[in-house]
Amino acid sequence: MPLKQRSRKDQKRNSFIKVAIADENTLLREGLKRIFSAESDLLVVGEAADEVEVAEVVERTKPDVLLLDLEIPKRGAVPILLELNQKNIAAKVLILSLFPEEEGILDTAKAGACGYALKRTSAATLIQAIRRIHRGEISADSQLNCAETFVELARQARPHDADEQENKVAKRLSKRELEILGLVAKGLRNEEIRKTLFVSLRTVKAHLNHIFHKVGVNNRTQAALLFVRMNQPKNKFLQEAPRQSKLGR
């Protein structure tokens, strides 16, 4: 292949979000591949059915995002996450699960997962989650009761990624938006923010909508947690190790 033609092909490949799918269920993997093939920015580069295949696929294909089944044979997702972190693998991991079992969900966050989605979620929501974590954000299925806790634990488990995201957030927001975000973090409601800043309620709501969109959060609590972390001394949070019962499965 001519060098110029090869260069164009490599550039096109690099424009995709490279995705690997690790799940024992062949039908699920095939279904996801068909769904992702319709997206102009997603490219499935590999698939795995068990723990051994995951290691081989990740090292060979170097995906940007790894979709990993929580219950993948033989030991489950948490040991795989810990091993990926130990090897400094760059792939960001989005956990897939049939059930919203809180203990398992939070253990994956502590082990370094960047996202968590239930398998019954819509294709559009899953694709959005892949794009979000590829941008360096944390994504938790809104159907989870512990979604906000997952987001915070995942940020604590990946301090370097978190610091990078926080720097990007600070640059993304205007001075007024940072001011409003700070008031939200203090617990002020919209009416109280309006009175503090001498603006209309409509203006406050418009700023909040812009803030949520820019920083990639869904509600005031997530926005407040992000602001608090942005203004905490680094390394203040201590990470609780995942439960040994999960690691020994």
The predicted-structure confidence for 37-83, as pLDDT tens digits, reads as follows 999 999 999 999 999 999 999 999 999 999 999 999 988 898 899 88
- Whole-number pLDDT of residue 65: 97
What is 162-230's CATH number, 3.30.1330.40, 1.10.10.10, 3.90.1170.10, 2.60.40.650?
A: 1.10.10.10
User: Would you give the distance in Å from CA 46 to the centre of its chain?
Assistant: 20
- Reported as a single tens digit per residue, the pLDDT across 95-136 is 999 988 888 888 899 888 999 999 999 999 999 999 999 998
The full set of domain ranges for the chain reads 3-157, 162-230
- Reported as a single tens digit per residue, the pLDDT across 134-154 is 998 999 998 898 988 998 888
Cα separations in angstroms, 230 against 1, 14, 44: 49, 31, 34
Residues 6+ apart with CB under 8 A from 130: 17, 19, 42, 65, 67, 94, 115
- Whole-number pLDDT of residue 216: 74
**Cα–Cα distance, 178 to 52 (Å, whole number):** 46
**Cα–Cα distance, 202 to 97 (Å, whole number):** 40
**Residue 190 predicted with pLDDT over 60:** yes
Of the pLDDT bands very low, low, confident and very high (cuts 50, 70, 90), residue 163 is: low
Q: What is the pTM of this model?
A: 0.62
- Whole-number pLDDT of residue 159: 56
Q: Does domain 3-157 have CATH number 3.40.50.2300?
A: yes
Of the pLDDT bands very low, low, confident and very high (cuts 50, 70, 90), residue 229 is: low
With vertex at residue 111, the alpha carbon angle to CA 21 and CA 91, rounded to the nearest 5 degrees, is: 40
**Residue 183 predicted with pLDDT over 70:** yes
**Residue 161 predicted with pLDDT over 60:** no
**Residue 246 predicted with pLDDT over 80:** no
Residue 189 burial (CB < 10 Å; 0-12/13-18/19+)? exposed
**Residue 220 predicted with pLDDT over 90:** no
| pLDDT (mean) for 160-171 | 61
**Cα–Cα distance, 151 to 134 (Å, whole number):** 15
**Residue 201 predicted with pLDDT over 50:** yes
Residues listed for the chain = 249
**Cα–Cα distance, 67 to 197 (Å, whole number):** 44
User: What is the 8-class DSSP label of residue 240?
Assistant: P
